[in-house]
Amino acid sequence: MDHYNINARRLSLDRISNLPLPIIETILSLLPTKVAVRTSILSREWRYHWTKIPELFFDEDAFKGSSDQLSILEQTFYYSCPCRRCNFFKAIYQVLLLHKGPLLEFSLITSADMICDELDLIISHLSRRNTVKIFSLDLNEYSKYRLPLSFFSLNQLTNLDLHKVCIHHPPTFNGFGSLTSLYLHNIKISPKTLVHLVSNCPVLKSLTLFIDEDNTLGNGNDVSSSFSDLIKCLPVIECLVTSLWVSHVS
């Protein structure tokens, strides 16, 4: 009788596990990614619930533990590389490999060097799946990381948010045909490339551009003339926010 009462109490307390799967997945999608992933250790039944959430958000600082502890992701996937950032990227890649169903939103705040094979691998994986509609990448202030060619295959994008990256798209790049919102902050890009990028986003409705002369990889005259060209290639724009610092324009 006591054993029956204990089991009955457990069942009454674990009401979440008895919810329909779509509701469980919705709940998990509202949690921070590190918390959602950690639910895999609750029980065999919970092991793969998180793998179907459509949004993944990773913030390197948020995943860091104390100096003598591994991060939540590192604990989950048992990495022990001395380089914490390598562990972080490897754990993200493992999450992507285990993820099932369409991944609609991917956001990453981290640091990266000029050459970062781990980040290239993550973006390449996303491009192969090609389901992401909302993509956000925010690197550290001094990053010179150059987006890999695979990034320009994300042709399902509707919202793109880039901070502190270098953009050199290939000559064959045909644009992001579904992109409606573009946010570029402190990126490195040539004026010609910037115009080509924006002009090949035919349904772009919102453009936010914070950039200075040093980051446009061109002189002041190039920036000024390109900005005029930029305005001309925004036929359906509804929201335009720009902050361009240009000096020495004759």
Percent of the chain with pLDDT over 90: 28
Closest to 208 (Cα-Cα) out of 175, 232, 230, 176: 230
Instruction: Give residue 104's pLDDT band: very low, low, confident or very high (50, 70, 90).
Output: very high
- Whether the full predicted model's pTM is greater than 0.85, yes or no, is no
User: Tokens 């040539």 map to which residue?
Assistant: 190
Instruction: Give residue 168's pLDDT band: very low, low, confident or very high (50, 70, 90).
Output: confident
Domains and their CATH numbers in the chain: 20-245 (3.80.10.10)
The vertex-68 CA angle with 66 and 72, nearest 5°, equals: 60
Q: What is the pLDDT of residues 55-91, one digit of tens each?
A: 888 888 876 653 333 444 555 554 555 466 777 888 8
**Do 152 and 174 meet the contact criterion of CB atoms below 8 Å apart?**
no
Backbone φ and ψ for 138, nearest 5 degrees, come out as: -125, 110
Token digits for 36?
A: 């959602």
The whole-number pLDDT of residue 232 equals: 79
Mean pLDDT lowest among 42-46, 183-187, 195-199: 42-46
Mean local confidence (pLDDT), 140-151: 86
Comparing 13 with 103, which gets the higher pLDDT? 103
C-alpha–C-alpha distance, residues 5 and 19, integer Å: 21
Backbone φ and ψ for 217, nearest 5 degrees, come out as: 55, 35
Q: Is pLDDT at 202 greater than 50 in this prediction?
A: yes
Greatest mean pLDDT among 34-48, 133-147, 173-187: 173-187
